[in-house]
């Protein structure tokens, strides 16, 4: 699955390492992965990155930021503790943050519970006795994962969110930790680009399931772009054969993360809907799987309890010429091939 969530009751350090190495990340007390995102009505690839720390040194601009803030502020490290002071800072940061955050720091880190299954450290930044920034990061056996940072908006010009990330990296170097995981970046969506400033990061390559230098990631190889391009090529083949089809984005691709039900949800963010005007209780859907470098033909059925997953009003306003807005479950995988012409031939035979 492209999107998946686990609910471990315990998570030893070596197990956290394994999850992180596969492009997973902590959400509250769960751990999840996703490889695609939708912001507004735009679709993107989530590219998981990590920083190898063997031989790593801060470049000049990073040293300058750290040295400047070190002269102005006091920093402390320790194991995670929640306090009224930190909750107050979190709520100040939350009103300033441009996205969606949990209602409280306790909810963000512990899902509102008392128990923490992660070995979480924190760095605190003070201006005199005033807490002005804090960040939290999990420690594995050979890894660290940056989880959440917050700062007082009055101190925005000091880049405290990025500063605490650099302090986390320095902590990991001192502890001999080989890999630092800051989460994902999103090509085409600049909010997450600051993670690329920390150094020569690697990215998790879905095709090979290995980590590669991020500088070698070609824009044409970004998974969602590959999917769209391949499906448009197949749509062209089908058009030559007089088989109707339509490439559509699929906003319910993360059903595996948010549904109350266990089902074989279709989880590709872009699809080719074949015979789109056919009156049937099922749909023939083609996806392009970048992991297998293959087209996959599915027979899918609608799942009626969509309201438990996503705001129905949001789905209703989507342009049906651009989006497939019904929740799908996979009934049957019918065919897989690397060749657009082959699967086009299959679909042509099915239409007669």
List the one residue out of 258, 261, 279, 264 whose CA is nearest residue 331. 264
**Residue 325 has which token pair?**
């807005």
Phi-psi category of residue 209: left, alpha or beta, with phi > 0 → left and psi -120 to 50 → alpha:
left
Residues β-bridged to residue 121: 79, 137
Q: How confident is the model at residue 40 (pLDDT cuts 50, 70, 90)?
A: confident
pLDDT over 70 percentage in the chain? 97
**pLDDT at residue 309, rounded to an integer:** 55
Residues with Cβ within 8 Å of residue 73, at least 6 apart in sequence:
125, 126, 127, 132, 158
**pLDDT at residue 258, rounded to an integer:** 79
Query: How do residues 143-156 score in pLDDT, each as one tens digit?
Result: 999 999 999 999 99
**Cβ atoms of 294 and 337 closer than 8 Å:** yes
Q: Domain ranges in the chain?
A: 4-217, 223-350
- Picking from 91-105, 211-225, 247-261, which range would have the lowest pLDDT averaged per residue? 247-261
- Picking from 172-176, 285-289, 300-304, which range would have the lowest pLDDT averaged per residue? 300-304
* CA pair distance 9, 205, nearest whole angstrom: 29
**Residue 264 has which token pair?**
């074989």
**Residue 95 has which token pair?**
């009103």
pTM of the shown model? 0.93
* CA pair distance 232, 246, nearest whole angstrom: 9
**Cβ atoms of 209 and 270 closer than 8 Å:** no
* CA pair distance 308, 129, nearest whole angstrom: 46
**Residue 76 has which token pair?**
């402390």
What does the pLDDT average to over 106-122? 94
**3-state class of 330 per DSSP?**
strand
Query: How far lies 96's CA from each of 14, 22, 99, 298, in Å?
Result: 36, 32, 9, 44
Residues β-bridged to residue 333: 298
List the one residue out of 157, 261, 126, 144 whose CA is nearest residue 198. 144
Q: What DSSP string describes 245-275?
A: EEEEE-TTTTHHHH-SS---B---SEEEEES
CATH superfamily of 4-217: Gcn5-related N-acetyltransferase (GNAT) (3.40.630.30)
Mean of all residue pLDDT scores within the chain: 93
What is the separation, in whole angstroms, between the first and last Cα of the chain? 33
Query: How far lies 332's CA from each of 243, 293, 328, in Å?
Result: 21, 20, 12
Q: Of the ranges 32-41, 133-142, 250-259, which is most confident?
A: 133-142
Query: How do residues 231-267 score in pLDDT, each as one tens digit?
Result: 999 999 999 999 999 999 999 999 888 776 778 999 9
pLDDT surpasses 70 at 74: yes
Residues β-bridged to residue 180: 51, 144
pLDDT surpasses 60 at 306: no
Alpha carbon 252 to chain centroid, angstroms: 15
List the one residue out of 280, 276, 278, 251 whose CA is nearest residue 266. 251
Phi-psi category of residue 128: left, alpha or beta, with phi > 0 → left and psi -120 to 50 → alpha:
left
**pLDDT at residue 305, rounded to an integer:** 60
Query: How far lies 116's CA from each of 144, 178, 208, in Å?
Result: 16, 24, 33
Q: How confident is the model at residue 161 (pLDDT cuts 50, 70, 90)?
A: very high
* CA pair distance 106, 135, nearest whole angstrom: 13
* CA pair distance 291, 300, nearest whole angstrom: 21
């Amino acid at each position: 699955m492209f999107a998946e969530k686990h609910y471990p009751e315990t998570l030893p350090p070596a197990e956290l390492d394994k999850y992180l190495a596969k492009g997973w990340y902590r959400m509250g007390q769960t751990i999840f992965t996703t490889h695609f995102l939708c912001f507004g009505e735009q679709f993107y690839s989530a590219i998981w990155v990590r920083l190898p720390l063997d031989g790593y040194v801060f470049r000049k601009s990073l040293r300058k930021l750290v040295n400047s803030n070190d002269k102005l502020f006091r920093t402390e490290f320790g194991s995670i503790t929640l306090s009224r002071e930190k909750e107050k800072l979190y709520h100040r940061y939350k009103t300033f943050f441009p996205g969606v955050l949990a209602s409280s720091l306790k909810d963000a880190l512990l899902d509102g519970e008392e128990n923490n299954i992660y070995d979480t450290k924190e760095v605190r930044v003070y201006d005199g006795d005033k807490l002005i920034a804090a960040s939290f990061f999990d420690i594995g056996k050979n890894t660290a994962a940056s989880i959440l940072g917050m700062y007082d908006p009055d101190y925005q010009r000091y880049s405290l969110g990025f500063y605490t990330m650099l302090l986390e990296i320095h902590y990991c170097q001192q502890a001999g930790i080989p890999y630092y995981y800051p989460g994902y970046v999103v090509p085409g969506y600049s909010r997450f680009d600051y993670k690329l400033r920390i150094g020569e990061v690697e990215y998790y390559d879905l095709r090979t399931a290995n980590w590669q230098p991020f500088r070698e990631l070609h824009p044409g190889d970004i998974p969602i772009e590959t999917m769209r391009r391949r499906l448009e090529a197949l749509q062209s083949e089908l058009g030559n054969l007089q088989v109707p089809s339509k490439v559509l984005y699929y906003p319910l691709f993360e059903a595996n993360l948010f549904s109350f039900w266990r089902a074989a949800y279709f989880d590709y963010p872009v699809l080719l809907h074949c015979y789109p005007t056919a009156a049937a209780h099922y749909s023939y859907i083609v996806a392009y799987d970048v992991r297998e470098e293959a087209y996959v033909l599915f027979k899918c059925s609608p799942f009626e309890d969509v309201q438990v997953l996503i705001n129905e009003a949001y789905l209703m306003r989507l342009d049906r010429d651009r989006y497939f807005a019904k929740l799908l479950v996979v009934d049957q995988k019918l065919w897989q091939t690397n060749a657009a012409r082959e699967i086009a031939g299959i679909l042509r035979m099915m239409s007669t």
